[in-house]
Structure 1
């Protein structure tokens, strides 16, 4: 259990180091190193709680809730030309045949 805990904390630290690298030249509107590090702590807490581990970070709420729009694929509407449409009927045959349908045929 301690090994798993340590792995999560180490992975979170690596993500924070990556955030430090990403924002080394400055931030952007709505996102900076501190906010991204808080998000890493938040998501790490959620993942650790899901597997029954103690929570190592104080961050308990999502510091960037707008990111959920991009992370939950059900929230994003795609245009038909961007996805494979499988609802087309190909080679569809009407299996409902009545003898009246054959009345124009001569043998």
Structure 2
């Protein structure tokens, strides 16, 4: 009965990845077209915002995962957030802010990095029963 849930998560993850890549391409495009705005002061401001975002994500994880759950705890989530932050800043030309951070969820990268070619609107619905027993 829950067969479509995983597929829906894949579509959401695909869409979020598209949004992420658009944002990174936009930032890199602005940098290329306006190199004068990419100053050391501006990079320092971006780094400050990234570090604040990482701190907030870690605090959120500590609040939500105080006791942890099977395969996930606050320390692992903290490491993942730092790892992801490093990946993101590198893609806009800023050095890693959390050297040595590793991905504690390798399965997550496999899921995110898989190319998703299927179109939701072109798939066949298989999770519903036929309406043979309905009377009008």
Aligned structure 1 segments of 4 or more residues deviating by more than 6 angstroms: none
TM-score scaled by length of structure 2: 0.52
Q: Name the residue aligned to 1:84.
A: 121
Q: Name the residue aligned to 1:7.
A: 49
Q: Name the residue aligned to 1:19.
A: 61
Structure possessing the higher relative contact order (Cα contacts under 8 Å, 6 or more residues apart): 2
Query: Is the Cα contact below 8 Å between 2:79 and 2:101 reproduced in 1?
Result: no
CA RMSD of aligned residues (A): 2.4
How far 1:68 moved relative to its partner?
Answer: 2.5
Larger Rg: 1
Query: Is the Cα contact below 8 Å between 2:61 and 2:77 reproduced in 1?
Result: yes
Alignment of 1:1-107 (within 5 A): 1-24=43-66, 26-72=67-113, 74=115, 83-85=120-122
Runs (5+) with no aligned partner, structure 2:
1-42, 124-136
State the aligned residue count.
81
Q: Distance in 1 between matches of 2:78 and 2:101?
A: 13
Runs (5+) with no aligned partner, structure 1:
87-107
Query: Is the Cα contact below 8 Å between 1:38 and 1:63 reproduced in 2?
Result: yes
TM-score scaled by length of structure 1: 0.64
